[in-house]
């Protein structure tokens, strides 16, 4: 069913962009493992030869508002080749959509850049994952399209997300706990983990009971997780991560994230 959904999306993107399309690329949980149909996004990057037009943006928005969450939520960024000619961090982009932005689009808000320079620090992480294990759904090979992302920019990107997770761990515990763990384990061995892989590694940690609950809730089980244990988890891993960052002489740059 996911394959058919990806085919439908890819065909629509080609219909919208025509000969201007360079490729459609899949990243996120579908390539890292751990995709949960009821919970996970379908994460996509579309690359075009030239900047998209207003009509492209209108047609793409109409399609996403209709198809996203039917049945899988879509998170997508559209970039053009000029934006990828020389790597920049945060990376510029033409268009972004996720379900978190649905109401903005319904209210006639953000559509596409229209010449305005818009940047997203998250793209350093997305493009690193594309290089690591991404899938070409249509178009040119990954190495021909995407420049290499320096490790320092990838680390800055995941640390920016990590800081959001610290703030929101009691509000969105599943996403926050598993991404905090992913950051911790990356700093330990520089390996990119899926959410489930990071959770499995943490089953031998002092917070194994909390992690078990998080993994069960990720699969749709109605499991109660107390604010006290989440706060303890946050303090423990914040100390661990900050010690690791200090040892490696790394600091968060405060990059611009999409939506900021």
pLDDT in tens, 207-234: 999 999 999 999 999 999 999 999 999 9
Q: Which of 80-84, 99-103, 157-161, 250-254 has the lowest mean pLDDT?
A: 250-254
At residue 176, what are phi and psi to the nearest 5 degrees? Answer: -70, -50
The confidence score (pLDDT) of residue 258 equals: 62
User: Higher pLDDT residue, 141 or 111?
Assistant: 141
* Alpha carbons 43 and 31: distance in angstroms, whole number: 9
pLDDT in tens, 4-30: 999 999 999 999 999 999 999 999 999
At residue 3, what are phi and psi to the nearest 5 degrees? Answer: -60, -45
Do β-strands 21-27 and 135-139 pair in parallel, antiparallel, or remain unpaired? antiparallel
- pTM here is 0.92
The confidence score (pLDDT) of residue 24 equals: 98
Provide the 10 A C-beta neighbour count for residue 147.
14
Residue 156, burial from CB neighbour count under 10 angstroms (0-12, 13-18, 19+):
buried
Closest CA relative to residue 210, chosen from 197, 223, 221: 223
- Distant-in-sequence, close-in-space partners of 221: CB < 8 Å, separation ≥ 6: none
Residue 252 pLDDT more than 70? no
pLDDT in tens, 153-189: 999 999 999 999 999 999 999 999 999 999 999 999 9
pLDDT in tens, 43-85: 999 999 999 999 999 999 999 999 999 999 999 999 999 999 9
Average pLDDT, the chain: 93
- Split at pLDDT 50, 70, 90, the class of 257 is low
């Amino acid at each position: 069913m996911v394959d058919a959904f990806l085919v439908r999306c890819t065909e629509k993107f080609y219909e919208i962009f025509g000969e201007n399309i360079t490729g459609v690329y899949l990243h996120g949980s579908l390539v890292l493992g751990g995709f949960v149909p009821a919970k996970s996004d379908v994460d996509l990057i579309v690359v075009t030869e030239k900047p998209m037009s207003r009509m492209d943006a209108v047609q793409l928005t109409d399609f996403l508002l209709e198809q996203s969450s039917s049945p899988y939520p879509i998170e997508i960024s559209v970039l053009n080749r000029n934006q990828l000619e020389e790597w920049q961090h945060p990376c510029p982009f033409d268009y972004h959509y996720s379900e978190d932005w649905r109401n903005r689009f319904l209210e006639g808000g953000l559509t596409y850049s229209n010449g305005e320079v818009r940047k997203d620090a998250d793209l350093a992480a997305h493009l690193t994952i594309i290089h690591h294990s991404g899938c070409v759904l249509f178009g040119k090979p990954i190495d021909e399209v995407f420049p290499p992302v320096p490790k320092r920019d990838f680390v800055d990107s995941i640390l920016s997300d990590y800081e959001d997770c610290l703030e929101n761990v009691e509000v969105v515990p599943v996403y926050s706990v598993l991404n905090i763990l992913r950051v911790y384990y990356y700093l330990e061995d520089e390996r990119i983990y899926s959410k489930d892989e990071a959770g499995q590694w943490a089953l031998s940690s002092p917070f194994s009971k909390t992690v078990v609950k998080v993994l069960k809730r990720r699969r749709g089980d109605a499991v109660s997780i107390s604010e006290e244990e989440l706060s303890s988890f946050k303090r423990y891993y914040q100390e661990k991560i900050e010690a690791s960052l200090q040892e490696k002489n790394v600091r968060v740059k405060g990059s611009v994230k999409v939506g900021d």
